[in-house]
């Protein structure tokens, strides 16, 4: 029972972490390797708002932090990525460099040690089927489902959302219908970074804000997206459940050292067998000889 | 006159055109034009340790500089001549370093055997491990190679093999500082000019074909995977040599051999130096490594500067320094009316 409950929580955590990465890749075809950095940055900004300047109320600080992170994502696209659009390797190197710069800049700016924590939304815990679960984890599950529902509604019943999906499906045809490719890419990066910030604010109260977590987040996001198929949303959810349960099972029966090994092995095995992932729609010829 | 009505025209210098043919050896000017830059590089690097005799610390930096130059060379070869973008250069250094540590410490082989053995066997091992992902292309190959060094790090940590997090200590050092220095400098020059030869052979042409259009290479009856296998072996050979050298230089083989530095700095060097020129890789790391030494006082802030430089180059000057210099050397520019 414990495995089931914590497996579900872990899976939803993973899908929250990777949702932004998957969204950006599926819409603008930019592998946003700065994802983990934006995640940590959102947490740090919230901490700054709460503790450094005049103490903002918690909800306001959260909204401001998510807004700022989205803005940074949009700026990254507007000033850097727009010039190297379509050159995949340059995109990877540039976004990775930006992410590294943000993370190491934060470390230099004083983000060290265990002193940086965010308070949980609601303290305390509750018993479900004989397992102790704190409220924060329940909130994570709830808002994870909520954000998926919101994104579904946004992309299916909203003009901007429909434009995003149009670009994702066929960029040329969408551009012929008057959808601005660069504008949608900016929006997608803003939403993707905002989602990274949202995930950070939900998940960071469980631990403390440390720079190293940024790298792990990136690896988990890539793992989930590769297994689910780069650019497929349904695949993202399924893949995060696969990895989430695999991790909880290895933790229960082996040791927690193997958590990352599981994710990395999953990436390698998936890429070897079916590079486009479980639900990938890319053509076979584009990915292998 | 109004600059808007003009356009810049580039024309090859007469000297360059003459030196392309048999006339290259007809006069001292032509010979000097061809040999000048090459001699400048060779003599400059060989003389560097003597110039730095006054600053022993910087002599160590030259070693590291050459190591990164070798790694950048291997990245440049794989990325720009075969089309395999390998984000995990640290995989090669790690395998090479650990193997030479095993040969040297556990099997008791002397240093002049352990480094070559580690180079050859490490290259073979890397090739075998990368064999399953060779059919992959583009982004997929890049991601999978990024994961390899991370995976090995975690496996060594989790299983606590090969010394675990402490690594293997007690490797032999080089007999003296000059051998230490010139071993890497000479090897770097050998590899550089060897690779320049290699990519201009018939086989280099096929490899470039694999990069440009692998389907047509396959249609010509050449096995694409064999070609990639060969290319990865060559690149891993260079990478494992530098890994083995680093392990002996520090007399220690640990998890830091798989560190991101060995993957990122070579890539940055190639981007800055100019991809596809091979020499550019050297020049890039000759700029970046001393720069990072100067910035060492800033702690982790130097990585920020580094990344800013890298992003700047990718966005604004993606051709790189070497291609720019080559253009200036071979061609002259003038404004002509549109």
**Which residues in chain B have their CB less than 8 angstroms from residue A31's CB?**
139
| Complete domains list, chain A, with CATH | 2-287 (1.10.3470)
SS (H, E, C) chain B: CCHHHEEEEEEECHHHHHHHCHHHHCCHHHHHHHHHHHHHHHHHHHHHHHHHHHCHHHHHHHHHHHHHHHHHHHHHHHHHHHCCCCCCHHHHHHHHHHHHHHHHHHCCCCHHHHHHHHHHHHHHHHHHHHHHHCCECHHHHHHHHHHHHHHHHHHHHHHCCCCCCCCEECCCCCCCHHHHHHHHHHHHHHHHHHHHHHHHCHHHHHHHHHHHCHHHHHHCCCCHHHHHHHHHHHHHHHHHHHHHHHHHHHCEECHHHHCCHHHHHHHHHHHHHCCCCCHHHHHHHHHHHHHHHHHHHHCCHHHHHHHHHHHHHHHHCCCCHHHHHHHHHHEEEEEEEC
Looking at chain A from residue 99 to 128, which residues have their Cβ under 8 Å from any Cβ of chain B?
100-101, 104-105, 107-108
Cα separations in angstroms, B229 against A174, A273, B119, B168, B195: 41, 19, 16, 30, 16
Question: Nearest CA of chain A to the CA of B312: how many Å?
Answer: 9
Q: Does the ipTM exceed 0.85? A: no
Looking at chain A from residue 220 to 259, which residues have their Cβ under 8 Å from any Cβ of chain B?
222, 226, 230, 255, 257-258
Tens-digit pLDDT profile for residues B115-167:
999 999 999 999 998 888 887 777 778 878 888 888 888 888 877 777 777 77
Highest mean pLDDT among A101-110, A187-196, A244-253: A187-196
The whole-number average pLDDT for the span A38-46 is 87
Question: Nearest CA of chain A to the CA of B304: how many Å?
Answer: 4
Predicted local confidence at residue A285, as pLDDT: 47
pTM for the model stands at 0.84
**Which residues in chain A have their CB less than 8 angstroms from residue B144's CB?**
267-268, 271-272
Q: Which of B139, B268, B301 sits opposite A88 (nearest CB)?
A: B139
Q: Distance between CA B98 and CA A135 in Å, rounded?
A: 47
Predicted local confidence at residue A114, as pLDDT: 62
Interface test with A, best of B78, B147, B295 (most A CBs within 10 A): B147
**Which residues in chain A have their CB less than 8 angstroms from residue B311's CB?**
80, 94, 97-98, 101
Is the separation of the CB atoms in B267 and B75 below 8 Å?
Answer: yes
Cβ of A89 and B303 within 8 Å?
Answer: no
Predicted local confidence at residue A280, as pLDDT: 64
Q: How many CB atoms lie within 10 A of CB B173?
A: 12
**Which residues in chain A have their CB less than 8 angstroms from residue B296's CB?**
none
Predicted local confidence at residue A94, as pLDDT: 85
Nearest CA to B309 among B327, B322, B321, B325?
B321
Predicted local confidence at residue A288, as pLDDT: 54
| Complete domains list, chain B, with CATH | 3-337 (1.10.3470)
Q: Which residue of B has its CA nearest to A286?
A: B137
């Amino acid at each position: 029972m414990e495995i089931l409950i914590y497996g579900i929580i872990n899976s939803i955590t993973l899908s929250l972490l990777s949702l932004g990465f998957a969204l950006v890749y599926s819409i603008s075809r930019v592998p946003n390797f700065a994802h983990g950095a934006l995640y940590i940055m959102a947490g740090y900004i919230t901490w700054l708002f709460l503790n450094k300047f005049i103490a903002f109320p918690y909800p306001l600080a959260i909204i401001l932090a998510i807004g700022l992170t989205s803005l940074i994502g949009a700026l990254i696209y507007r000033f850097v990525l727009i010039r190297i659009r379509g050159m995949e390797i340059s995109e990877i190197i540039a976004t990775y460099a930006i992410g590294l710069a943000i993370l190491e800049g934060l470390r230099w700016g004083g983000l060290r040690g265990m002193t940086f924590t965010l308070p949980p939304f609601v303290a305390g815990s509750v018993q479900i089927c004989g397992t102790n679960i704190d409220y924060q984890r329940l909130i994570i599950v709830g808002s994870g489902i909520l954000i998926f529902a919101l994104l579904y509604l946004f992309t299916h019943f909203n003009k901007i959302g429909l434009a995003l999906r149009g670009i994702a499906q066929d960029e040329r045809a969408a551009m012929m219908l008057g959808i601005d490719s660069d504008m949608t890419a900016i929006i997608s990066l803003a939403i993707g970074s905002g989602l990274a910030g949202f995930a950070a604010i939900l998940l960071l109260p469980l631990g403390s804000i440390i720079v190293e977590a940024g790298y792990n987040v990136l690896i988990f996001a890539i793992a989930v997206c590769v297994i689910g198929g780069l650019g497929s949303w349904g695949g993202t959810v399924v893949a995060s459940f696969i990895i989430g349960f695999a991790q909880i099972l290895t933790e229960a029966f082996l040791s927690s050292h193997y958590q990352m090994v599981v994710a990395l092995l999953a990436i390698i095995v998936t890429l070897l067998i079916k590079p486009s992932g479980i639900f990938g729609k890319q053509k076979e010829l584009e990915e292998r000889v | 006159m109004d600059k808007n009505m003009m356009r810049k025209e580039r024309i090859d210098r007469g000297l360059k055109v003459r030196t392309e043919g048999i006339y290259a050896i007809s006069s001292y000017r032509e010979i000097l034009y061809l040999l000048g830059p090459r001699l400048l590089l060779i003599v400059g690097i060989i003389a560097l340790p003597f110039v730095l005799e006054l600053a022993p610390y910087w002599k160590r930096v030259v070693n590291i500089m050459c190591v990164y130059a070798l790694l950048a060379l291997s990245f440049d070869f794989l990325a720009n001549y075969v089309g395999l973008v390998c984000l995990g250069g640290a995989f090669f250094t790690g395998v090479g370093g650990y193997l030479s540590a095993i040969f040297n410490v556990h099997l008791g082989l002397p240093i002049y055997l352990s480094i070559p053995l580690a180079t050859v066997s490490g290259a073979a091992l890397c090739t075998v491990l990368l064999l399953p992902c060779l059919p992959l292309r583009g982004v997929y190959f890049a991601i999978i190679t990024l994961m390899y060094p991370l995976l090995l790090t975690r496996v060594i940590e989790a299983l606590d093999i090969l010394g675990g997090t402490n690594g293997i200590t007690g490797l032999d050092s080089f007999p003296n500082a000059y051998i230490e220095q010139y071993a890497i400098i000479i090897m770097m020059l050998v590899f550089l000019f060897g690779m320049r030869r290699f990519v201009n052979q018939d086989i280099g042409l096929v490899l470039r074909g694999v990069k440009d259009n692998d389907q047509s290479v396959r249609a010509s009856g050449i096995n694409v995977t064999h070609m990639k296998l060969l290319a990865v072996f060559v690149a891993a050979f260079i990478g494992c040599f530098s890994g083995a050298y680093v392990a002996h230089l520090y007399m220690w083989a640990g998890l830091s051999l798989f560190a991101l530095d060995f993957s990122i700095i070579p890539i940055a060097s190639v981007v800055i130096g100019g991809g596809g020129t091979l020499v550019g890789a050297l020049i890039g790391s000759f700029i970046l490594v001393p720069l990072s030494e100067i910035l060492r006082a800033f702690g982790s802030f130097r990585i920020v500067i580094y990344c800013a430089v890298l992003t700047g180059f990718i966005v604004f000057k993606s051709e790189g320094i070497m291609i720019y210099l080559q253009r200036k050397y071979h061609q002259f520019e003038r404004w002509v009316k549109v």
